[in-house]
Amino acid sequence: MAIVEPRPFEWNFCGTCGQSLMPSHDGERERPYCAACSRHYYLNPVPACCVFIQDSAGSLLFGKRAVEPCYGQWALPGGFMEIHETGEQCALREMREETGLTGAGARLLGASAARSRDKGAVLVLGYVIEAWRGELVPDSDVSDLQFFSRAERPPVPFTAHRELLDLYDALNP
Ligand SMILES: [Zn+2]
């Protein structure tokens, strides 16, 4: 049986009154609009982070995903930001949860926004971990952890991760 790819999430109905949205110009361009509530809807990205954890040889740590989306594929460790959390705190928390490692110092590399199948759009903040300690312990979101050199890196399913990896490589030739 063919697997039907879900459409990227879009606004179709008003979240307040439930009416169907119609395209309407907001002064810049056409966007979904609820006439009853006089409200335009925007595809704003949800903040998340990913971490760049290097070993002594300069290889980067990847986690094999044990959750959807992209179950079974390798990606940078990371996850979604919580309320009352800074980007640095999010990066260090997700690192600890997914890898078992404790990081000291997270330096912002850059940010990349991309469409997301289940969130609509995601803004991923990439953080380079300046120092870390501990033993690798994959948790329930990740079934395996492995350092990969640049030449051995697995294909990464997330556009934002790929863009941030390109940025990382450009700054670490
Ligand atoms: Zn409405």
Stretch 110-117: mean pLDDT, rounded? 90
Distance 13 CA to ligand 1 centre (A): 8
Residue 73 has pLDDT above 70, yes or no: yes
Residue 7 is predicted with a pLDDT of 52
Stretch 121-131: mean pLDDT, rounded? 96
- 131 and 160 part of one domain: yes
Arithmetic mean of pLDDT over the chain: 91
- 37 and 21 part of one domain: yes
Residue range of the domain that includes 136: 46-171
- 132 and 67 part of one domain: yes
Distance 114 CA to ligand 1 centre (A): 27
First to last CA, the chain: 45
Is-contact 124 50, C-beta < 8 A? yes
Asked if residue 82 belongs to a domain, the reply is: yes
- 85 and 144 part of one domain: yes
What's the rounded Cα separation, in Å, for the pair 13 and 137? 43
4 Cβ neighbours under 8 A, 6+ residues apart: none
Is-contact 147 74, C-beta < 8 A? no
Distance 1 CA to ligand 1 centre (A): 38
Residue 120 has pLDDT above 90, yes or no: no
Distance 41 CA to ligand 1 centre (A): 10
Stretch 73-93: mean pLDDT, rounded? 96
- Least confident interval from 89-98, 115-124, 126-135: 115-124
- 121 and 134 part of one domain: yes
Per the model's pLDDT, the better-predicted residue between 112 and 3 turns out to be 112
Which tokens sit at 95? Answer: 């690192």
Distance 10 CA to ligand 1 centre (A): 16
Distance 38 CA to ligand 1 centre (A): 7
Distance 11 CA to ligand 1 centre (A): 12
Asked if residue 22 belongs to a domain, the reply is: yes
Distance 32 CA to ligand 1 centre (A): 11
**If pLDDT is split at 50, 70 and 90, which confidence band does 72 have?**
very high
Distance 22 CA to ligand 1 centre (A): 11
Q: What is the pLDDT of residues 140-153, one digit of tens each?
A: 789 999 999 999 99
Query: In terms of DSSP H, where are the helices of the chain?
Result: 87-99, 159-171
- 36 and 117 part of one domain: no
Distance 31 CA to ligand 1 centre (A): 14
- 35 and 112 part of one domain: no
Domain count, the chain: 2
Here the CATH number for the domain that contains residue 120 is: 3.90.79.10
Stretch 7-16: mean pLDDT, rounded? 76
